Amino acid sequence: MAKVTIDGQTIEVADGTTILQAARMVGPAVAPPAMCFYTNLKTSGGYCRTCIVEVSKGSDKDPRPMPKLVASCRTTVMDGMEVKNFSSEKVLDARKGVVEFLLLNHPLDCPICDQAGECHLQDLGYEHGSAKTRTDFERRTFEKISLGDKIQLHMTRCILCYRCVKVAEQITDGRVHGVMNRGDVSEISTYIEQAIENDFSGNIIDVCPVGALTDKTFRFKSRVWFTKPVNAHRNCDKCSGKTVIWYKGEEVTRVTGRKNQWGEVEEFICNTCRFDKKQTSDWTIEGPTAVSHQSVISANHYMKMVKPNELTLNNIKPIGMLTEGENK
């Protein structure tokens, strides 16, 4: 076991735990943002640098600070380590720079992007970005690419986090896309615009932190904050069948995997559940999905119950689950 202190909060974790995982165990008040790490995808992380932290004490054995900021998703804790995240000016300043880099080529087309309202880059920009950019260069642009009849690729919005590549490699039968080229000409591509078609390919939509991969059956149907997410399940022979179905009025506009507090899918779902089951009668409804009150999706549906730094999945309650006296 190793004892690590993050922003003044000490926790004991198993050897081999990364700083990011340890910080998440402490809670959202100290957990760094992460745009490329994904718990359920092996070898993810290490690409985006949003999770950088300052290690002010290496360990009890060697208390020297680490000379540079480190990626917390790729650095394991040592016994006695002391880490600064939100309490470090250096980290906040560097993270601002990282956001600026991520937005160098990312278009500010949130008003017409399907991911708006659940985009991790949008949140990151608000929380850690700066109001101005210093670049004079034109943003690079790409033609939209159709990846079969269900998935659309807007390479222009891609931040090259590699999550969709890991999904294709680890969850699906055969990977037919990847990152082509290197440096500022890198792009996600199937190279010969081959369709991505296999039972679990739809998961690349869920893991994409921005609006680069979108669901053609949902595109332009509704802003996400006009929809109501409901947990539902069905008997499925390919996946767990546990999903979130998103209603607009009576209509099921889309089906997605269930995401945890960190915005990561808990269990990947198959394309049949995602794309072909759009009737309420296909599903057993469990109840309203818990949504963080900070999310725009909670607008009008959920009550503000807790302060942001006290937020955990367990203390978010949808309207209707409030007990008497709580609604203040």
Residues at the interface with ligand FES (CB under 6 A): 34-37, 45-51, 71, 73
HSE, side-chain direction, 13 A CA sphere, residue 59: 11
Q: 219 vs 105, 193, 273, 274, CA distance in Å?
A: 22, 20, 17, 14
What is the Cα–Cα distance from 181 to 188, expressed in whole angstroms?
9
Q: Which is nearer to ligand FES, 35 or 99 (CB)?
A: 35
Among 164, 230, 255, 270, binds ligand SF4 (CB under 6 A): 164
Cβ distance to ligand SF4 smaller for residue 82 or 215: 215
Rule CB under 6 A: say whether 151 interacts with ligand SF4.
no
Site string for ligand SF4, 174-213 (x = CB under 6 A): --------------x------------------xxxx-xx
Of 77 and 102, the one with the shorter C-beta distance to ligand SF4 is 102
Binder of residue 224, out of ligand FES, ligand SF4, none (CB less than 5 to 8 A by kind): none
Nearer CB in complex with ligand SF4: 86/101: 101
Alpha helical stretches, state H, the chain: 19-26, 89-102, 120-128, 163-170, 203-207, 271
Structural tokens at position 196: 């991505």
Q: How far is residue 107's CA from residue 133's CA, in Å, rounded to a whole number?
A: 12
- 196: buried, middle or exposed (CB in 10 Å: 19+, 13-18, 0-12)? buried
Beta carbon of residue 47, minimum distance to ligand FES (angstroms, whole number): 5
Per rule CB under 6 A, is residue 161 in the interface with ligand SF4? yes
Q: Using CB distances below 5 to 8 A depending on partner kind, what does residue 164 bind out of ligand SF4, ligand FES, none?
A: ligand SF4
Q: How far apart are CA 218 and CA 215, in angstroms?
A: 5
Q: Is 162 in the site for ligand SF4 (CB under 6 A)?
A: yes
d(CA 245, CA 274): 9
Interface contacts to ligand SF4, rule CB under 6 A: 158-164, 188, 207-210, 212-213
